[in-house]
Amino acid sequence: MNARVVRFLLAGLFCVDLLAVGGVAMAKDKAAKPQQPAKTEANAANDGGGLNFAEKSGTPLEIYADQGLELSQDSKTVIGRVNAKAIRGRVTVNGDVLTAHYRPKAPPPGQPVAPKPAKPPPDGNKQDGGSNEVWRVEADGHVSIATPTQAAYGDHADYNIDDAVVVITGKDLKMLTPTDVVTAQDSLEYWEHKQQAVARGNAVAVRAEKRIQADILVADFAQNAEKQMAMQRAHGYNHVILTTPREVVTGDRADYNVETGIVTVTGSVKITREENQVNGGYAVVNLNTGISRIFPVAPGAAEGADQRVKALFVPQKKQSAPSSAEPSSGGAPSASPAQGGTDQPSRTQ
């Protein structure tokens, strides 16, 4: 069968040269190494602006793969294999295999839908008429999603462009910014419109020496003064543990303002510093200053008879004096410690 070269266009979203045979096409890579996208206003706005792969600014979506691309008009997919990349603006999705799902593009509101042809073409020459759009991208194997200032890693990624949400699963799930690390055991989500990451299963967020852990963590991101993405807030749900070099704080839920270092913790709160411990139902902890305020219940909640703040302070132990002292120059022994002395508890700041 004679092969023919065709050009496949998805509503201006991506464009590749295909070597088509029947209804399935194998694509030859136009370049072994993708070219860096030209600097545009849309791209400039996305510098440091999060994993905005689904943004609707009209930025083209380009797909590359070392072993070319496979087009299936029946399943409406384009598959890239081996070192596959999908690039839009400043965001790159990498994987061993990439699958882009496309569909006919809906007309703008108020524009009539084009009538279907009276007689469909033969199966051997079936082609999609009109413009198309990519609505979903899947990546499998050694997955990474990266911008100049933010990256996420896993084994499988499912990017729903309609909802602007990506779900990453697999081992060693993590999201990195220049200042923060977010990890998870079960899944890692990123919601573009909210610029929010959701980590599920033994989720951890770390900045410098401060660490928050919970069953589920919701992290809010925004650009900082250096135009880099940085975590602004972190919300922990169930089995919350906050750790600093000074203390460990546990509870059922926590809301952490990363910039100010202030955390509100509710539900079975326990603050531990060295061997000292304070228990309550609600606490406001300043991780930067080390000052904590703990209450029986949250403000506005009814206080029960058995709800109170409890504290345990362990006294510091004095070092025992030697059993005998060296004789003084005069030959007389030094005085023994005074009788009846007692250890005094330390004062906790």
**Model confidence pLDDT, tens digit, residues 221-233:** 999 988 889 999 9
Mean of pLDDT over the chain: 78
In the chain, CATH 2.60.450.10 covers 174-316
CA angle, residues 194, 76, 22, in degrees to nearest 5: 155
| Confidence check: pLDDT of 93 > 50 | yes
What is the percentage of the chain residues whose pLDDT exceeds 70?
A: 68
Reading phi first (left if > 0) and then psi (alpha if -120 to 50, else beta), residue 288 is in alpha
Please state whether beta strands 310-312 and 276-286 pair in parallel, antiparallel, or not at all (unpaired).
antiparallel
Superfamily of structural domain 174-316: Lipopolysaccharide (LPS) transport protein A like domain (2.60.450.10)
Across the range 157-171, mean pLDDT stands at: 95
Q: pLDDT-based confidence at 115, cuts 50/70/90? A: low
Across the range 213-219, mean pLDDT stands at: 98
**Do 97 and 143 touch, CB atoms closer than 8 A?**
no
* Range ranked top by mean pLDDT from 41-45, 120-124, 290-294: 290-294
**Residue 202 vs residue 14, higher pLDDT:** 202
Q: What pLDDT score was predicted for residue 57?
A: 57
| Confidence check: pLDDT of 45 > 70 | no
| Confidence check: pLDDT of 135 > 80 | yes
| Confidence check: pLDDT of 341 > 80 | no
Cα separation, 248 vs 241, whole angstroms: 7
* Claim: this prediction has a pTM higher than 0.95: no
Q: Is 36 helix (H, G, I), strand (E, B) or coil?
A: coil
pLDDT in tens, 240-287: 999 999 999 999 999 999 999 999 999 999 999 988 999 999 999 999
Cα separation, 155 vs 164, whole angstroms: 20
Q: pLDDT-based confidence at 320, cuts 50/70/90? A: low
